Chains A and B, each alone.
Chain A
Amino acid sequence: MAGPGALWEALWALLPRTKEELKLELGEKVEGSVVMLLQEAAELLYGDRRQECLQTCEALLDYSWEKLNTGPWQHVDKGWRQVYSFGCLLKAVCLCAPPGDAASVAAALKACDMGLLMGAAILGDILLKVTAVLQKHLLSGKRPAPSPSQEPLGIKKARNDHVPIPDMTSERTVPRLHCPSLQYFRKHFLDPGRPVILEGVANHWPCMKKWSLEYIQAIAGCRTVPVEVGSRYTDEEWSQTLMTVDEFISKYIGNEPKDIGYLAQHQLFDQIPELKQDISIPDYCCLGAGEEEEITINAWFGPQGTVSPLHQDPQQNFLAQVMGRKYIRLYSPQESEALYPHDTHLLHNTSQVDVENPDVEKFPRFAEAPFLSCILSPGEILFIPVKYWHYVRALDLSFSVSFWWS
């Protein structure tokens, strides 16, 4: 039985014994003033001056947050993200000081999640270790609350009768193959850039049997994740926000949600490594030039009705369906002009056309553009070639895992 004292001990077992051993190698972009403040925060923590440490951490977090929001994300210096992670780490530890009530520990877990979402690895991935300790402590005292709607995966049960299942009788469907050899896949699909659905490849992954709303809540319920709110990312009312998985499920997956919420394009498996054990990297990825570590794995978890507008990505994609079904439409890059991409830099990879409700006057060529479509079901993997335009709508409560590789 874990008491607050045990939590405190468990955390300190993960930290360096002395503040001198706290390696602050942040690179030359991080100014001396920040390094000094960070050293001060460490001193305060090791000196048991927790309230002051928390105050100092706030300044560090706010300042590095500003750096994280300056310039394109890919250009943000790693040092700033590490400062952010250090701020999160020290803040989380302070919050867990005895008596360490449940609210404080939950706040500490949130701080760690912010570090995992926006920071960069420090002290040998210490934030992952700390979150494991915190989660264990939070769950040890109580049973996970059973979710009101325990929908196991794979059951094709619509929440209501008004699901617009597309009439695909006139549509050309994506070909399906059962466990093709690597060479066959490369010769007929990867090299020529043709979509295909792979069957028999992912259907035995543990996630296919294990994942349900209840399981997800048990493993990840208290973890903070980014959620997109609004019917699609091209809408004016669209926004991104943070909340725990429990909050996401209760607000956007439970009964009668007011808005569409989508846990989309999030590297959940880096944040919660335990879930990674339930999936595998498709063998076909080895046909690419990149390393396995460079493969980006994203989770896509949301209610019936989420829509990803027609867009293209700069890498090859294996989209594995775990829970529920998705209607997917694919257009070749050769048809790009007929898809009327936005002319701004930010959205040049996104079409202006609403695929299932196109404005035929504004976008006359769209109706004639040939396409392939499918309904992707649990256990199946869709290969989306690089730059292939794709549109996705969830027909049920859905969980997909995508693998971007080169």
Chain B
Amino acid sequence: MAEERRGAWFGFGFCGFGQALGSGRGRQVHSPEPLRAPGAGLDVCRVSASWSYTALVTREHLLPTPAPGACPAPSLASSPPPAGGGGRVELSGFAVGAAGGCRDAWASEELLVVLRAGPGPGAGTELQAWTPGSALRGEPLWAQTVPEAEREDGPGGDETQAGPLPLLPCARAYVSPRPPFYRPLAPTLRARRLELGAEHALLLDAAGQVFSWGGGRHGQLGHGTLEAEPEPRLLQALQGLTMAEVAAGGWHSLCVSEAGDIYIWGWNESGQLALPTRSLAEDGKTTAEASGLNEDGSEVKTVAGGEDGAPAPFIAVQPFPALLDLPLGSDAVKASCGSRHTAVVTRTGELYTWGWGKYGQLGHKDTTSLDRPCRVKYFVDKQLQVRTVSCGPWNTYVYAVEKEKS
């Protein structure tokens, strides 16, 4: 059954290269603003943001042009996307350009990766890697035909098949921004989602287990050490729990269980793990000393830590997954991480952000970094239900729908 509520994308944070992010006024946006997608009336189904540019993946539907001044509000189509994979990718920022026939795109500073329908039915899907500056013109840096996903496209789109790039539809390999670009995955892994950090990779498999590999110097692998792992290694600490989502930041990792619990680990230098961090304490802003009730609904926090009332010790690195409670006991359903910040969507449609905030990427109308989850009031005030979040390194994109009017 299709939803007919009007939804839209919003953005906030760094836009120093003029990437589409709301009004794009100045180089930073500190509070959510409706996305001005290049071209009106585009139905954006995915946002992949790199540091200097953003790629919007749209479904190829022509919608009536919204009235001037109105925020673009595409509706979720009731019919599934064309099986051949119509759809465009639109770039803005340091990289500009657009191309059709794209099912998916993944933006990084080194490479723009797109999945395009091969010519004609049954011709498979082509994976292309472009230099961002190429504007998708001429020849890609590298291209390869990839096997199709085993399951059919459903109305839910990305949710039912092997996840978005950098994981390939067949789940047998993923794309890396550094050579070798095409990296096979052991078939036994049955990957459902894959996310890349600055030095590590996270994988969620069909059974809800989490694997990690790559560099581990900031504890981002979650195996309890600072050692690197050359191959995917199962997170033992999460055994017995079924995970629904994984998200990788620059040097931190997060997963969300089917029950809605958040587990988080890695580097906490800006409070991105929602644990007390020394750098914010020195500015007088750490959670270890927070008290009182905040407007954003975060619970009263007396001095956290030991029974003797001593403040909690600062945590620079958390090498094992730690359970994180959101204020008011909210359940998490979606998560995404930027370089040094974290964003989580709750079951009731609220957005919480924390971590590095210098470029407004937390959306709290300022540039303060936070080491505790805070609700983004904008969506509450505008009576919007947040459905999904996608973070670029220093910015945040949010898809939200209007609340049902009773």
Tell yes or no: B227 within 8 A of A by CB.
yes
A37 & B278 in contact (Cβ 8 Å cutoff): no
Q: B132 to chain A: which residues have CB within 8 Å?
A: 31-33
Decide: A62 and B358 in contact? CB cutoff 8 A.
yes
B158 at the interface (CB under 8 A from A): no
CB closest residue in chain A, given B316: A239
Known: A37-B16, A59-B27, A344-B227. A69 touches B251 (CB 8 A): yes
Interface size on A, residues (CB 8 A): 23
Question: Contact partner of B94 among A36, A69, A345, A346, CB < 8 A?
Answer: A36
Contact call A55/B109, Cβ cutoff below 8 A: no
Any chain B CB within 8 A of the CB of A66? Answer: yes
* Residues on A with beta carbons closer than 8 Å to the beta carbon of B52: 31, 33, 37
Check B289 for interface membership: any CB of A closer than 8 A. no
**8 Å CB contact of B198 from A33, A36, A62, A70:** A70
- Cα–Cα distance between A36 and B199 once the two chains are bound (Å): 25
Within B1-37, the residues touching A (CB, 8 Å) are 14, 16-17, 27
Q: Give Cα A32–Cα B134 distance, bound, in whole angstroms.
A: 11
Q: Give CA–CA (A241, B281) in the complex, Å.
A: 13
A33 x B17 contact (CB < 8 A) = yes
Contact with A along B334-363 (1 / 0, CB 8 A): 000001000000000000000000100000
CA of A70 to CA of B313, assembled, Å: 26
If over half of B's interface residues share one DSSP class (helix, strand or loop), that class is named, otherwise mixed; here it is: loop
B146 lies within 8 A of chain A by Cβ: no
**How far, in Å, is A50 (CB) from chain B's closest CB?**
15
A33 contacts which of B14, B109, B250, B394 (Cβ < 8 Å)? B109
Contact of A239 among B133, B227, B278, B393 (CB under 8 A): B278
Q: Give chain A residues whose Cβ lies under 8 Å from the Cβ of B316.
A: 239
Bound CA–CA A56/B52 (angstroms): 13
Q: Which residues of B contact A291 (CB under 8 A)?
A: none
B51 contacts partner chain A, Cβ-Cβ < 8 Å = yes
Q: How far is the CA of A295 from the CA of B226 in the complex (A)?
A: 29
Query: Which of B94, B251, B393, B394 is close to A32, meaning CB atoms less than 8 Å apart?
Result: B94
Q: How far is the CB of B280 from chain A (nearest CB, A)?
A: 14
Query: In the complex, which residues 309-346 of chain A have their Cβ closer than 8 Å to any Cβ of chain B?
Result: 344-346
Give the docked Cα–Cα distance between A383 and B8 (Å): 69
* B215 part of interface (Cβ distance < 8 Å): yes
Q: Is B296 an interface residue (CB 8 A)?
A: no
**Residues of A close to B51: CB separation below 8 A:** 33, 63
B278 touching A71 by the CB < 8 A rule? no
- A283, CB-defined interface residue at 8 Å: no
One digit per residue, 1 when the CB lies within 8 angstroms of any chain B CB and 0 when it does not, for chain A 42-80 equals 000000000000011011001100100111100000000
Q: How far is the CB of B376 from chain A (nearest CB, A)?
A: 22
Rounded to whole angstroms, the CA-CA distance of A344 and B319 in the bound complex is: 14
> Is A20's CB within 8 Å of the partner chain B?
no
B227: A residues at CB distance < 8 A:
344-346
Q: Decide if B225 touches A70 in the complex (CB within 8 Å).
A: no
Residue pair B27, A55 in contact (C-beta under 8 Å): yes
- Determine the distance from Cα of A346 to Cα of B216 in the docked complex, in whole angstroms: 11
For residue B109, which residues in chain A have a CB less than 8 angstroms away from its CB?
Answer: 31, 33
From B52, B225, B358, name the one whose CB has the most chain A CB atoms within 10 angstroms. Answer: B52
Chain B nearest CB from A83 CB (Å) reads 13
Question: Does A237 reach chain B (CB closer than 8 Å)?
Answer: yes
Please state if B225 and A344 are interface contacts (CB–CB under 8 Å): yes
**Closest chain B CB from A371 CB (angstroms):** 30
C-beta contact mask, B267-280 vs A, less than 8 Å → 1, else 0? 00000000000100
Let me know if B94 and A71 touch, CB within 8 A.
no
The answer to whether B110 has its CB under 8 Å from any CB of chain A is: yes
Q: Apart from A32-B94, A70-B198, A344-B225, what are 15 other A-B pairs with CB-CB below 8 Å? A: A31-B52, A31-B132, A32-B132, A32-B133, A33-B132, A37-B52, A55-B27, A56-B16, A62-B358, A71-B215, A72-B217, A239-B314, A239-B316, A241-B278, A344-B227
Which 10 residue pairs are nearest across A and B when measured between Cβ atoms? A33-B52, A33-B94, A70-B198, A31-B109, A59-B16, A32-B133, A346-B226, A345-B227, A70-B199, A66-B339
What are 8 A-B contacts defined by CB distance under 8 Å? A33-B53, A37-B52, A55-B27, A70-B250, A71-B215, A236-B313, A346-B226, A346-B227
Residues of B within 8 A of A (CB): 14, 16-17, 27, 51-53, 94, 109-110, 132-133, 198-199, 215, 217, 225-228, 250-251, 278, 313-314, 316, 339, 358, 393-394
